[in-house]
């Protein structure tokens, strides 16, 4: 049930910046309506990737580590802003490799691939240059394990564009 008092509270006020929410979060509008900013999910996360973001709402910082999809944050969330249905993926977010990636500068590097247990990062041979990492969209879970180890922090975990 939507909390109308909270919805009224936000009417005419700026909503928090859209950020990546914890796994199994409701759609952003419903999430903001439900989330009380108690940060119980932040305290529950064993890998410490959940942090208080804009306005105190929880967001994900993969520089701290990866999501193991343990679901402890969901269990901790009493207002049910995080809800996990059987078999439902945590999110549709996936890794994106940015311009700072070392092989793009001609420097050999495969660190992100070494940390990807899902084997979702391939390095196809490239004529005249270091192999560039490519994300396999069928395999990437958006766990973020490849983010922190990258020497240039070139990897980000992004939701697909809305639409």
Place of tokens 């944050």: 73
Rounded to a whole number of angstroms, the minimum distance from the CB of residue 152 to ligand SF4 is 15
Q: Which two tokens stand for residue 5?
A: 């008092």
**What pairing do the DSSP bridges indicate for beta strands 121-122 and 58-60?**
unpaired
Rounded to a whole number of angstroms, the minimum distance from the CB of residue 106 to ligand SF4 is 22
- Is 58 exposed, middle or buried, given 0-12, 13-18 or 19+ CB atoms closer than 10 A? buried
Of the two residues 112 and 130, which places its CB atom closer to ligand SF4 in the complex?
Answer: 112
With b meaning 16 or more CB within 10 Å and e meaning fewer, what string describes 134-160?
Answer: ebeeeebbbbbbbbbebeeebbbbeee
Rounded to a whole number of angstroms, the minimum distance from the CB of residue 141 to ligand SF4 is 5
Of the two residues 130 and 141, which places its CB atom closer to ligand SF4 in the complex?
Answer: 141
**What pairing do the DSSP bridges indicate for beta strands 121-122 and 50-52?**
unpaired
Of the two residues 74 and 128, which places its CB atom closer to ligand SF4 in the complex?
Answer: 74
Of the two residues 89 and 129, which places its CB atom closer to ligand SF4 in the complex?
Answer: 89
Rounded to a whole number of angstroms, the minimum distance from the CB of residue 161 to ligand SF4 is 18
Residues that bind ligand SF4 (CB under 6 A): 22-23, 35-41, 44-47, 49-50, 58, 67-73, 76-77, 79, 81-82, 95, 115-116, 118, 120-121, 135, 140-146, 157
Rounded to a whole number of angstroms, the minimum distance from the CB of residue 43 to ligand SF4 is 9
Separation of alpha carbons 66 and 29, rounded Å: 25
Of the two residues 104 and 127, which places its CB atom closer to ligand SF4 in the complex?
Answer: 104
- Output the furthest CA–CA distance in the chain (Å, rounded): 61
């Amino acid at each position: 049930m939507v909390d109308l008092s909270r919805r009224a509270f936000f009417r005419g006020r700026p909503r928090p910046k859209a950020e990546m929410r914890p796994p199994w979060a409701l759609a952003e509008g419903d999430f903001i309506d439900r989330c009380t900013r108690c940060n119980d999910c932040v305290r529950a996360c064993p890998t410490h990737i959940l942090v208080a973001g804009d306005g105190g709402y929880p967001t994900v910082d993969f520089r701290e580590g990866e999501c193991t999809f343990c679901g402890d944050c969901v269990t901790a969330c009493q207002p049910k802003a995080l809800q996990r249905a059987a078999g439902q993926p945590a999110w549709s977010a996936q890794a994106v490799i940015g311009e700072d990636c070392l092989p793009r500068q001609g420097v050999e590097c495969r660190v992100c691939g070494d940390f990807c247990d899902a084997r979702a990062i391939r390095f196809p041979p490239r004529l005249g240059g270091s192999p560039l990492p490519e994300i396999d969209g069928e395999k990437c879970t958006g766990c973020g394990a490849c983010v922190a180890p990258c020497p240039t922090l070139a990897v980000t975990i992004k939701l697909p564009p809305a639409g």
